[in-house]
């Protein structure tokens, strides 16, 4: 199985459980991996036969910004389900990081895998 990936997709959105977080935007960083078979696209040099990472990035950004959420766990699940539903992929890995959430840590986040790897 091949993989199309997007690393450190930066999205500024309203996210958080505290009242003060609900009044500001904060940056999330997402790493996405989508299982696929790239042989046909590579043989024909045809973007229509692969997963277009520009389109994926736009759809993920729109989804994350569509409504304020409290948990990055919710962001990860919503993104994973959208990727599995909207793109021809049998499996995804979604990592959502919230830099700055814990001042003593370089980064914090969650990672989920959905589908058949």
Q: What is the pLDDT of residues 1-56, one digit of tens each?
A: 999 999 999 999 999 999 999 999 999 999 999 999 999 999 999 999 999 999 99
Q: What is the pLDDT of residue 88?
A: 87
List the structure tokens of 107.
């980064």
Q: Map out the domains of the chain with their CATH numbers.
A: 2-115 (3.30.1130.10)
Q: Which ranges of the chain does DSSP label H, i.e. alpha helix?
A: 39-44, 53-65, 72-86
69-117 pLDDT per residue, tens: 999 999 999 999 999 999 989 999 999 999 999 999 999 999 999 999 8
Q: What is the pLDDT of residue 103?
A: 94
- What angle separates helix 53-65 from helix 72-86, to the nearest 10 degrees? 140
- Which residue from 43, 45, 41 is spatially nearest to 88, judged by alpha carbons? 41
Average pLDDT over residues 58-74: 98
List the structure tokens of 100.
């700055």
Active site members: 98
Please give the Cα distance from 33 to 110 (Å, whole number).
Answer: 14
């Amino acid at each position: 199985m091949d993989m199309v990936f997007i690393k450190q997709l930066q999205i500024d959105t309203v996210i958080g459980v505290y009242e003060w977080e609900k009044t500001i935007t904060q940056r999330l960083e997402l790493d996405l991996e989508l299982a696929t078979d790239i042989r046909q696209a590579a043989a024909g040099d045809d973007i229509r036969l692969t997963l277009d990472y520009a389109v994926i990035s736009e759809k993920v950004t729109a989804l994350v910004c569509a409504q304020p959420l409290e948990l990055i766990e919710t962001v990860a699940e919503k993104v994973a389900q959208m990727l599995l539903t909207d793109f021809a992929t049998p499996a995804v890995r979604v990592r959502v990081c919230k830099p700055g959430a814990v001042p003593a840590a370089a980064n914090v986040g969650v990672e989920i895998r959905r589908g058949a790897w």
